[in-house]
Structure 1
């Protein structure tokens, strides 16, 4: 999974690093990731 995220680009990688401390709540990470994808598709 982390390798896949790494392929998507530095900004997303940074975002994942930001939430990596919150790894005990993977749902939050997934929600933020989905939100990020939604922002990308809307622009």
Structure 2
């Protein structure tokens, strides 16, 4: 997964708590996070 061209992500946050403007209120398991990021933020 490549987030390098998305300036909205803070790489200091653990990936399980990675958040964005649409999902700051959620935490994700690794698989759910990958699916969410792939579908919503690429």
TM-score range (shorter-chain normalised) is 0.3 to 0.5
TM-score of the superposed pair, with normalisation by structure 2: 0.37
Which has more radius of gyration? 1
More helix by share: 1
